[in-house]
Structures are given as C-alpha cells and as structure tokens.
Amino acid sequence: MMNPHDAIINPVMGKKPPPLGKLCVMVANQPDFDYLNRLLKTEQSGSRCILMSRLNCGDNTTLSIIGPFIGAPYAVILLESMIVWGIREVIFFGWCGALSKDIKIGDVIIPDKALIDDGTSKSYVPNASEAFPSDSMQTLIKSSCKKNKIKFHEGPVWSTDAIFRETSEKVGFYQKKNALAVEMEAAALFSAGCFRKIDVGCILVVSDELASTKWKPGFKAPVFKERRDQVCEMIRSLWNHQSFK
C-alpha cells in the first residue's frame, strides 16, 4: 500500500491559508464557473488567485468554488491544495464527449467509475485500471438531479490526457468497455480523493459526440448551454437546502 507521506514534495498550508469549509465545487470551464459564482454570489465574499485559477469563498466560509482548469495533473494540484486547506467533499463539474450512440449533446452523465488512461491517476493508484467516486457524493448528486428534474445517464467514462489522440481504435476499445463518454479529469480526481480519504463526486454535460468516430461538436448548441445552466442551478439548490451546512 502506498504511503501518503513518502513524497519528497507535499502540499503545504502556507502562511495565509484561505478560510475554507469542507465543501468545494471544482468547475472545469470558465462560463460555468462564472455563472455558478453569480448564482451563489461567492465573488462578493472573497476571491483569490490560485495558480491559473480563481478560488471564491461563500458566506461563512462554508462553500468554495475553484476553476477553471483543464487536464488531470492541474486538476489534482488544485485538489491537493484544497485538501490541505480543509476541504473534505468535492463536486467536480465538467464537460465530456459522448461515446455511446444513445447519448447526445446536452445530455448529463454521472459517472459510476472512470477508466484510467491518464498518468496522474497511476501515481495515486498505480495498479488500478479504474477509479471510483464517493458513493455518498454520487448519491447526493443523483438525488438532487431527480429533485430538479434533470435526466441523467449513469455509467463509466474514459479519462484521457490526450484529446488529440482520441483515435478510432481507442474509441472502439472504450466503447467495448461500455464507456458512455470521454473526458480528462474524473479518474485523477477520484484516485487522488480516494488516496487522501476525501469524498469526490462528478457530474458532466455532453459537449460533443464521437460515437460514430466522426467528431460532432456541440459547444454552441442551445441545449448544451441550457443543460449547463440547469446543473449550476442544481448545485445552488443543494446549497440553499443546506445539504452542506
């Protein structure tokens, strides 16, 4: 078993750590980050720059939102920093590309596991081929989606480091493993969360389709923006109903 204290370089609290509570929403993409901050008014309560991202804290320091970010290595650097500052529950909200022909642009996916095809995950779970979210966080996310009438698919996703090496061969390989979609961060966040013994859950919105091995982008589709906004509003409803207070 790996020793969490055997690394030469470890995350440190620093001289002036942000006063965080236990929950962090990690938002991968700038438009969603901006909208969620407006909904929760976290920008008014305190903001600081963390590497190339921004960390905004909610009232009474019980909620924080960090983003944007891209890729497993950077996502986990942020996560490790948040953990040392006291975060114990994480919701990761990102975009993904559909691999199943039954899933379309604007659909919502809640991964029950991530198939590891990135290097960062293997540094936390070196012998694993799959990484798993926290049951409690996923149950909470699914329950909130149902309450907010957001339909979703549940199943595996493929986590890759290389979006420009998503070949037809690889798409076929992961389709045979029943992967619903491809994205870049879930496996690493699940792996690091498990390693550090914190709870990480994930919700994704489909931005493009690869199931036919011909790329169909949907970043400008109205349904894509509508669904992202609904997910942000769902996260706000979790907070307003004091799920994390």
* Structure tokens that stand for 206 in this block: 């489909």
Evaluate whether 230 touches 205 at the Cβ level (below 8 Å): no
* pLDDT tens per residue, range 6-48: 888 888 888 888 878 888 999 999 999 999 999 988 766 678 8
In the chain, the domains with their CATH numbers are: 23-240 (3.40.50.1580)
For the whole model, what pTM was predicted?
A: 0.94
Tokens of 74: 């950077």
Specify the pairing of strand 53-57 against strand 47-50. Answer: antiparallel
3-state secondary structure of 79: helix
> For residue 117, which of 101, 132, 104, 128 has the smallest C-alpha distance?
128
Q: Are 72 and 169 in contact, with CB atoms under 8 Å apart? A: no
Mean pLDDT, residues 106-120: 98
Structure token digits, residue 186: 């879930």
Average pLDDT of the residues in 236-243: 69
Do 27 and 93 form a contact (C-beta atoms < 8 A)? yes
Q: Which residues contact 128 (CB under 8 A, 6 or more apart)?
A: 116, 121, 122, 191
**pLDDT tens per residue, range 45-79:** 678 899 999 999 865 557 889 999 999 999 999 99
DSSP character at residue 192: H
* 123-182: pLDDT as tens digits: 999 999 999 999 999 999 999 999 999 999 999 999 999 999 999 999 999 999 999 999
H helix or E strand, kind and range, residue 209: strand 199-209
Please compute, for residue 88, the number of CA atoms within 13 A of its CA located in the half-sphere on the CB side.
Answer: 7
Q: Is 117 helix (H, G, I), strand (E, B) or coil?
A: strand
CB 236 within 8 A of CB 124: no
How large is the greatest C-alpha to C-alpha distance in the chain, in angstroms? 52
Q: Is the pLDDT higher at 22 or at 241?
A: 22
Closest CA to 122 of 49, 171, 188: 188
